[in-house]
Amino acid sequence: MKKKKPRASWGDRILRSASGLTAVLVVGIMIWMGWEMFISSRQSLHQFGWAFLGGRVWDPVHRIFGALPFIYGTLVTSLVALVIAGPIGLGVAIFLSEMAPATVRSVVGFLVELLAAIPSVVLGLWGIFVLAPFLGKVVEPWLGKRLGFIPLFHGAPVGVDLLNGGLILAIMILPTIASISREVMTAVPTVQREAALALGATKWEMIRIGVLSYAKSGIIGSVILGLGRALGETMAVTMVIGNMPNISPSLFSTAYSMAAVIANEFTEATYGLYLSALMEIGLILFAITLLLNIFARLLVWSVARGPKGGHLV
């Protein structure tokens, strides 16, 4: 574009620099968040070093802080969520992108998005007053009777535990996995499907050969994005996990998660080191979710944003 009249170019310069500034701001926010948390957790980093990650004791009264129980609770609930929501979310994505007629697709698609829209604090409320009694009185006694010999299902059923946290998280990440997998599958070129069908494949074979193998990395990306969401989810888990820093192999045990301990104790942290230890837990959570998201986004981008032509099987 050639230079315009001076007045016009002023307008251009203002809009260009204002919008450019906000773009810089987005990157700045990210860097600033990492920096602010690093600074705030310096005291704890200095005091405990790497031992913080492996420390099993969390005792604010005696100034001993170890993050292991929280890391454990976060990982176990997230894994339970992934095991449940991964296959179901993928199934929903296949149903929506490959099978459903247009009307069913828009209705079910809308319902799944609505599930994503339910605030996590409302899911937590439901988890405390509906899911917990149901788990404690029906599901867990049943599981304990049949599968109690496995440590996973051993112990007294209470309903407010790792299993409840995992289930609530499964509900929360299901829409994430379903909608991003679906987006990736929709990006698969139609020729892939036509080629498979032309070779006499059944619909399932077409999906497996033509769609899934092509969209594989994007689907993995969607699952990792779901995992990232589960790791950092706060309110619902805080309300149903029991908030006790236990490390127990049983899913029926109360536990604690990284986000939950921050939510519960942050405003109660009465001295610098306590606050700093909580900040360090935040820093760990930030670092893990940041890395997972970078990795997952690269996978999703590689499929959804730049199809490199169909490689036929």
> Quick one: 144 or 165, whose CB is closer to another protein?
165
Q: Which stretch binds another protein (CB under 8 A): 145-153, 189-197, 209-217, 282-290?
A: 282-290
Beta bridge partners of 65: 58
Cβ atoms of 217 and 303 within 8 Å: the answer is yes
C-alpha to C-alpha distances, 290 to 4, 148, 223, 301, nearest whole angstrom: 44, 38, 15, 16
Cβ 47 to another protein, closest distance in Å?
A: 18
At residue 160, what are phi and psi to the nearest 5 degrees?
A: -100, 95
Full DSSP string of 295-310 = HHHHHHHHHHT-----
Nearer to another protein, 143 or 235 (CB): 235
Closer to another protein by Cβ: residue 241 or 250: 241
# residues contacting another protein (CB under 8 A): 95
Out of 143, 169, 174, 277, the residue judged to bind another protein by CB under 8 A: 174
Q: Which of residues 284-313 bind another protein (CB under 8 A)?
A: 285-286, 289-290, 292-294, 296-297, 301
Contact 178, 92 (CB under 8 A): yes
Over the window 72 to 111, marking each residue x when it contacts another protein by CB under 8 A and - when it does not, the resulting string is ---------------xxxxxx-xxx-xxx-------x-xx
Residue 139 engages another protein in binding (rule: CB under 8 A): no
Closer residue to another protein (CB): 144 or 280: 280
| Residue 133 interacting with another protein (CB under 8 A) | no
Site for another protein in 203-242 (CB under 8 A): 203-205, 207, 225, 228-229, 231-235, 239
Separation of alpha carbons 186 and 181, rounded Å: 9
**Applying CB under 8 A, which part among 26-34, 50-58, 152-160, 247-255 lies near another protein?**
26-34
| CA atoms of 224 and 299, how far apart (whole Å) | 10
Nearest to another protein of 99, 312 (CB atom): 99
| Residue number with CB closer to another protein (5 or 311) | 5
Q: Choose one: 14-22, 44-52, 60-68, 156-164; the region binding another protein (CB under 8 A).
A: 14-22
Task: Determine, following the binding rule CB under 8 A, whether residue 272 of this chain makes contact with another protein.
Answer: no
CA dihedral sign, ordered 83, 114, 165, 130: negative
Beta strands, E only, 50-196:
58-59, 64-65
Q: Does 38 bind another protein (CB under 8 A)?
A: no
CA nearest neighbour of 170 among 135, 120, 100, 215: 120
Compute the distance between CA of residue 84 and CA of residue 76 in angstroms, rounded to an integer. 12
For the chain, the first-to-last Cα distance in angstroms comes to 46
Tell whether residue 119 is a contact of another protein (CB under 8 A): yes
**Binding residue for another protein (CB under 8 A) from 37, 132, 169, 211?**
37
Question: Is residue 199 part of the contact set for another protein (CB under 8 A)?
Answer: no
User: Judged by CB under 8 A, which of 56, 129, 137, 189 binds another protein?
Assistant: 129
Angle between helices 213-232 and 68-94 (to 10 degrees): 140
Backbone angles phi, psi at 59, to 5 degrees: -135, 85
Q: Is 182 in the site for another protein (CB under 8 A)?
A: no
Phi, then psi, of 76 in degrees rounded to 5: -65, -45
